[in-house]
C-alpha cells in the first residue's frame, strides 16, 4: 500500500485590477467649445466665391452687350461703304466724267503732241483744242439709234419666230390629215376585203357539186346515172 503524503501548496494571491482613475470636478457649464477662426475662414471663402461669380456674370453680360453694339456698328459702316462705292462708280462713269469735263470748260483734242524733256523737243502735230470738239454727253441710258435698232431686231426675231411656229403648226396639221386619210383608206380596204371574203364564203356554201352524168331527181337530191 502506498503511503499518503500531504504536500504544501502556496497560497494564490488575488490579482489586482487597474488603478482607479482619480475623480475630478466637472464644471456645470462649458463656457468655450473651441476657436471660431475656421468658421470665419469658411464663411469668408464662400462669400468671396459668390462675389467672384457675380462679377464674372456681370462682365460676361457687359461683353455681350458690347459685342452686339460692335456688330450693329459694323453693319452700319458696311452700308455706308456700299453707298460710297456706288457714288464712286457713278462719278467714275464715262458720262459723268464727260459732264464734269464740260462743266470745267475742257474740250476734246484731235491730235496729240509728245514732249521729250531730255532732248527738249516736241513730236507730233499738236493743235489747240476748240469748242467744236466738245465731249458728247449721253443723257439717256440707251441712245435712240441703238433703241430703234434693238426694236427692229426684236420685231424681226418675233416675226421669224411666229412664222416658224405657223409653219410648224401647218406641217403638224398636214401630217395629221395625211394620217387620218391613210387610216380611213386602210379601214375601207379592210372592210372591202372582209365583204369580199364573206361573199366568197357565202357563194361556196350555196353551190352544189355536180358529177358528169348525174341528174336531178324528184326529191331534188343529185343522183348518179349509168351509161351504156
Distance CA 181, CA 175 (A): 10
Res. 228 pLDDT band, cuts 50 70 90:
very low
Distance CA 95, CA 102 (A): 11
Non-local (6+) Cβ contacts of 113 within 8 A are 122, 123, 124, 125, 126
**Residue-wise over 87-105: b if at least 16 C-beta within 10 A, else e?**
eeeeeeeeeeebeeeeeee
Phi, psi of 14 (to 5 degrees): -65, 140
Q: What is the mean pLDDT of the chain?
A: 75
Is residue 14 helix, strand or coil? coil
pLDDT at 1 over 60: no
Structural domain boundaries of the chain? 39-92, 140-201
Looking up cell 462669400, which residue turns up?
A: 47
Q: Which of 28-32, 47-51, 109-113, 119-123 has the lowest mean pLDDT?
A: 28-32
Segment 39-49, tens digit of pLDDT:
889 999 999 99
pLDDT at 138 over 60: no
Segment 178-227, tens digit of pLDDT:
888 888 888 888 888 888 888 888 776 654 444 444 444 444 444 444 44
**pTM attached to this predicted model:** 0.33
Model pLDDT, residue 157: 75
More confident site: 9 or 173: 173
What value does the mean pLDDT take over residues 80-106?
86
Share of the chain above pLDDT 90, in %: 20
What value does the mean pLDDT take over residues 58-64?
92
Amino acid at each position: 500500500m502506498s503511503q499518503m503524503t500531504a504536500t504544501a501548496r502556496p497560497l494564490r494571491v488575488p490579482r489586482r485590477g487597474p488603478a482607479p482613475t482619480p475623480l475630478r470636478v466637472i464644471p456645470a457649464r462649458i463656457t468655450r467649445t473651441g476657436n471660431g477662426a475656421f468658421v470665419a475662414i469658411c464663411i469668408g471663402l464662400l462669400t468671396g466665391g459668390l462675389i467672384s461669380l457675380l462679377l464674372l456674370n456681370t462682365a460676361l453680360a457687359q461683353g455681350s452687350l458690347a459685342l452686339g453694339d460692335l456688330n450693329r456698328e459694323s453693319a452700319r459702316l458696311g452700308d455706308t461703304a456700299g453707298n460710297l462705292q456706288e457714288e464712286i462708280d457713278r462719278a467714275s462713269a464715262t458720262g459723268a466724267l464727260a459732264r464734269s469735263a464740260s462743266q470745267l470748260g475742257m474740250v476734246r483734242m484731235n491730235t496729240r503732241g509728245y514732249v521729250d524733256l531730255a532732248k527738249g523737243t516736241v513730236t507730233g502735230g499738236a493743235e489747240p483744242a476748240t469748242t467744236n470738239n466738245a465731249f458728247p454727253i449721253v443723257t439717256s441710258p440707251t441712245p435712240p439709234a441703238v433703241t430703234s435698232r434693238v426694236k427692229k431686231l426684236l420685231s424681226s426675231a418675233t416675226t421669224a419666230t411666229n412664222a416658224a411656229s405657223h409653219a410648224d403648226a401647218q406641217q403638224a396639221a398636214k401630217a395629221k390629215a395625211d394620217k387620218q386619210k391613210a387610216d380611213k383608206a386602210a379601214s375601207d380596204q379592210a372592210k372591202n376585203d372582209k365583204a369580199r371574203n364573206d361573199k366568197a364564203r357565202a357563194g361556196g356554201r350555196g353551190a352544189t357539186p355536180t358529177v358528169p352524168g348525174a341528174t336531178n331527181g324528184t326529191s331534188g337530191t343529185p343522183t348518179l346515172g349509168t351509161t351504156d
